[in-house]
Amino acid sequence: MSYSRRTNRPRGEDLNPFPEYRDPRNVSAGNPYLQPEYIQALELGCQFQNDQISVLPALYYRYTYNRFTQITRAINDSTLLTTRQNLSNDQSGGLEMIVSATVGNLLAAHWSINGFYNQIDASNLGFIQNKSTTTWSSSFTVNINLTGVSKLQLNTNYNSARLTPQGEYVPTYVVNTGFRQELMDGKLSLVATVSDLFRTQKRELGLDTPLLKQTVVNTRDSRITYIGLTYHFGAPPRKQKEEQMRYENGD
């Protein structure tokens, strides 16, 4: 069992009040009055483990005061301003489970799933009624050792609908893949990755309030191929933790 309390402070861009015009009708700006958010968390977990599999389930409850959120409002009859605000509070409780498994030296897999009930209170922003939903997210990674010096990786992430004071984000998922080949007795490493293999990555927000109804879709050509070579001078460190493959899935 554990209890924690932490503080998240706004980034510089979240505080910057100078507007940025995405187009003539949409403006974004930071909020210099944005306050830090405070998160209190209570967790209860246990672990089951043998030589091939590890299972870690955990029940949790989190209470966030002043949680950061995004608000869109009309500043005149033709222009919308999107900025950052603090929610009154955000509560969530649910079950998270992490499963790791290996099949000899051939395969290693890691799966996590998080299902929870979420309620937000935005009464300080003029939204009187609390909003709530049941949502979940999951990620899965599998590493396959094709040979002693060749590794193939598949990585996927899924997020179901998420609440905002004015609407919700639609579900999203992304699939990545990577390959690593060790050469010259480990002195040379070849890494090739493909981010967003099926071009599914996007961010879609539906706004539904008495004064504003809008669907905002942000997307880009996120199928990015990366090929890199790394050469180690001297004896390669055999016991050092292997470098993780990285994918270009940031916004």
Please say whether the beta carbons of 66 and 86 come within 8 A: yes
Amino acid at 102: T
- 93/4 Cα distance (integer angstroms): 15
pLDDT of residue 211: 83
* pLDDT < 70 regions, the chain: 235-243, 250-251
Residue 8: per-residue pLDDT = 96
Strand partners for 194: 177, 225
Domain boundaries, the chain: 2-231
> 55 and 99 in contact (C-beta within 8 Å)?
yes
The pLDDT value recorded for residue 240 is 54
pTM, two decimals, is 0.82
Q: What is the reported pLDDT for 249?
A: 73
Beta-carbon neighbour count of residue 87 at 10 Å? 22
pLDDT of residue 172: 94
- Identify the pLDDT of residue 122: 92
pLDDT at 59: 98
Q: What is the pLDDT of residue 138?
A: 97
Contact 15, 29 (CB under 8 A): no
Q: How far is CA 119 from CA 125, 131, 191, 208, 227, in A?
A: 15, 6, 43, 17, 43
Six-digit token pair at 52?
A: 């091939």
3-state DSSP percent of the chain in helix, strand and coil, to 5: 5, 65, 35
The CATH fold assigned to 2-231 is Maltoporin; Chain A (2.40.170)
